[in-house]
A and B are shown apart, each in its own frame.
Chain A
Amino acid sequence: MMAEQNMPLWEVFIRSRNGLAHKHVGSLHAVDAAMALSAARDVYTRRGEGLSLWVVPSSAITASDPADKAMLFEPTASKIYRHPTFYKVPDDVGNM
């Protein structure tokens, strides 16, 4: 599929503030990383949206299959002992 495209696809991630993680904001077409970065700057940061940009070739991303959602993510629902509220601590012990 990529060969048919005139230009490869890139996914754009922005870190909006210091200390926050980069977040996916959209995608664009560009022939190489430098041009993808330059286009991402023009298109996705016109209003002070961020302090740092990542561009990643879309083809480099491996995503889980939505059909596997139940198999992958439902088992955690039964593992309530992974949450702090599962454990009883007397009130007079205070916050823990």
Chain B
Amino acid sequence: MYTQGLLDAKDGPAERPPEPEAQLQRFHERVDAEEKVEPNDWMPEAYRRTLIRQISQHAHSEIVGMLPEGNWITRAPSLRRKAALLAKVQDEGGHGLYLYAAAETLGISREEMVEQLLAGKAKYSSIFNYPTLSWADIGAIGWLVDGAAIMNQIPLCRCSYGPYARAMIRICKEESFHQRQGYEIMLTLAGGTPEQKAMAQDALDRWWWPSLMMFGPSDKDSQHSDKSIRWKIKRFSNDELRQKFVDATVPQGHHLGLVFPDPALRFDGASGHWRFGAIDWNEFRNVVAGNGPCNRQRLQQRRDAQADGAWVRAAAIAYGEKRARRGQ
């Protein structure tokens, strides 16, 4: 079952003495044959740990990602935009739930993961540590940030771990609305008054490079890639996905009549790829290390939300216990 990893965490397969060599070989044969690994199947401890880290980070990113966009819900320029943004932010909360549930199948509880996030021990996508300064940022996030997320997430639908792959299928179906609503905002602004077009350009200027950083360190510096590719958790390297994103996105930007903030950007006819300039990896490392423009604010908002909701959870639990005592 979907969540049995959590239920069985204490007395489950871990207590059965494994036969490491034979088990490991059978595991790799299954993964190579594109068979899905399910919660109660034997898996190497490192595979389990890698998945817990990746899926929980992914879940945290969905939850923290609600904050920069939530900032504009009350100030959306029309009811149509407001309804769409509300629905999008609600989706992100749902995505967080699907992903926490998928991680729970590996034997970690949601409370533990939330605790890791609030304690500042767990990472989430660096992009959400940038501020949303104008309405155009909501367009840029949908177009670029969700666009980059989709590029990352589509191959995850074929990830070797069943519950993660199934969660990603649901998420990807919902993300395409997010990207399209963002691009529509950009189209409207870019086709509007000179001030509106300038807003769109300003948002692109600020979000372009952080969006490219979303794919993570360059392949030569990535510490987790090799094993993840062997285990079919990852299907493409960071640099491959980044290039795909640039190739897909640059023509969309030109269609908007906007200029990318990269003087080195040029089309390489021989390879058919858009070549881009050097990414400022110092900025990336700095944001990941907790020193981006909004890191402290984001964590504080999550801690406040957790604390503010404590009485609701306590009341629900007390109610549940009372009902259980009375035999429903």
**A residues at B contact (CB < 8 Å):** 1-2, 4-9, 11, 24-32, 35, 43, 46-47, 58-59, 61, 63, 65-67
| The residue from B1, B40, B170, B319 contacting A11, defined by CB atoms under 8 A apart | B1
Provide the bound-state CA to CA distance between A36 and B94, in Å.
14
B323 vs chain A, min Cβ distance (A): 5
Chain B interface SS verdict (over half) = helix
Is there contact, CB below 8 Å, between B323 and A11?
no
Are A26 and B101 in contact (CB-based, < 8 A)?
yes
Known: A28-B97, A61-B1. A9 touches B7 (CB 8 A): yes
Instruction: Decide: A58 near B97, CB < 8 A? Known: A5-B111, A66-B38.
Output: no
- Collect the chain B residues with CB atoms within 8 Å of residue A26's CB: 2, 98, 101, 166-167, 170
Question: Residue on A with the closest CB to B324?
Answer: A32
**B56: min CB distance to chain A, Å:** 16
A58 to chain B: closest residue by CB: B3
Sorted nearest first, the 5 A-B pairs with minimum C-beta distance are A31-B320, A27-B3, A31-B316, A32-B320, A27-B101
Which residues in B have their C-beta under 8 angstroms from that of A43?
94, 97-98
B53 at the binding interface (Cβ < 8 Å): no
Would you mind naming 18 contact pairs between A and B with Cβ atoms under 8 Å apart? A1-B6, A1-B10, A4-B109, A5-B111, A8-B320, A9-B6, A9-B7, A26-B166, A26-B167, A27-B2, A28-B101, A31-B321, A32-B319, A32-B324, A32-B328, A46-B87, A63-B4, A67-B13
B110 within 8 A of A: yes
CA separation between A24 and B10, bound complex, in Å?
25
Is the contact region of chain A dominated by helix, strand, or loop, or is it mixed? mixed
Q: Tell me if B317 and A7 are in contact (CB < 8 A).
A: yes
Q: How many A-B residue pairs have CB under 8 A?
A: 82
B1, B41, B111: residue with the most chain A Cβ atoms closer than 10 Å: B1
- Given A9-B7, A46-B90, A66-B42, 20 further pairs, Cβ under 8 A: A1-B7, A1-B9, A6-B111, A6-B313, A7-B316, A11-B3, A25-B170, A26-B98, A26-B167, A27-B2, A27-B3, A28-B97, A30-B316, A31-B321, A32-B324, A43-B97, A46-B174, A58-B7, A63-B40, A66-B41
Chain B residues with CB under 8 Å of A46's CB are: 87, 90-91, 94, 174
Instruction: Using CB atoms and an 8 Å cutoff, list the residues of chain B in contact with chain A.
Output: 1-4, 6-10, 13, 38, 40-42, 87, 90-91, 94, 97-98, 101, 104, 109-111, 166-167, 170, 174, 313, 316-317, 319-321, 323-324, 328
Closest Cβ–Cβ distance, residue B162 to chain A (whole Å): 11
Q: Which residues on A sit within 8 Å (CB–CB) of B2?
A: 11, 24, 26-27, 58
Q: Please determine whether B317 and A31 come into contact, CB atoms closer than 8 angstroms.
A: yes
Q: Distance (Å) between the CB of B301 and the closest chain A CB?
A: 21
Contact present for A7 and B313 (CB under 8 Å) = yes
Distance in angstroms between the alpha carbons of A27 and B39 in the assembled complex = 14
Across-interface contacts of B40 in A (CB, < 8 A) = 63, 65-66
Q: Which residues of A contact B91 (CB under 8 A)?
A: 46
Shortest distance between the CB of A74 and any CB in chain B (Å): 15
Q: B4 to A58, Cβ gap below 8 A?
A: yes
Contacts of A63 in B (CB 8 A): 1, 4, 40
